[in-house]
Every structure is written in C-alpha cells, then in structure tokens.
C-alpha cells in the first residue's frame, strides 16, 4: 500500500503532517500486517525516514531528494558502469 505523505508537489519539504501520522496508523490497523505500508512524497532526509518507520511505515520511498544529491555530486565522483 502506498500512502502519499503530503498534498502538493513531490520534492517539496513540508515536514511530517499530523494527517499523515494518522493515515499511517489507520491503514496499518486496517491491513493488519497483511500488506506492507509504504510512504512517499516530501521525504527528504534520513530523519524523515526514521520518523516514518517509527510511526509504523514498512517502507519509505525517496525520489526527489536523491535526484538533488546526484545533481550536486561532481560527475568525476559518480561511478561509471
């Protein structure tokens, strides 16, 4: 199950919202461990990941934060395959 953590555009940092915490807890109760619950959108730091896992998320999806990191990394430091 994929839960959208924030309303808005992906990559925008807005902090962990109370409605997201409630949604994670409510969905976790509904699926009763039968379906993993992942959270994405607005996840931009290791601290966000830790908080979502602590709240109960089984997975945390990170996208834009990784792209920003790649953009800031000099190409000579990226491993070529």
Provide the residue count of the chain: 81
Give residue limits of the domains in the chain: 2-35+43-74
pLDDT in tens, 36-70: 999 988 887 888 889 999 999 999 988 766 667 77
Instruction: Tell me: pLDDT of 7 over 80.
Output: no
> Counting Cβ atoms within 10 Å, is residue 57 exposed (0-12), middle (13-18) or buried (19+)?
buried
pTM of the model: 0.70
> What's the chain's average pLDDT?
82
């Amino acid at each position: 199950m994929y839960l959208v953590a924030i309303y808005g555009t992906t990559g925008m940092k807005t902090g962990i919202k109370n409605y997201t915490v409630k949604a994670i807890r409510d969905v976790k109760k509904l699926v009763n461990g039968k379906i993993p619950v992942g959270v994405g959108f607005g996840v931009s730091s290791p601290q966000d990941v830790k908080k979502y896992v602590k709240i109960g998320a089984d997975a945390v999806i990170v996208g834009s934060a990784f792209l920003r990191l790649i953009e800031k990394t000099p190409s000579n430091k990226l491993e070529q395959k």
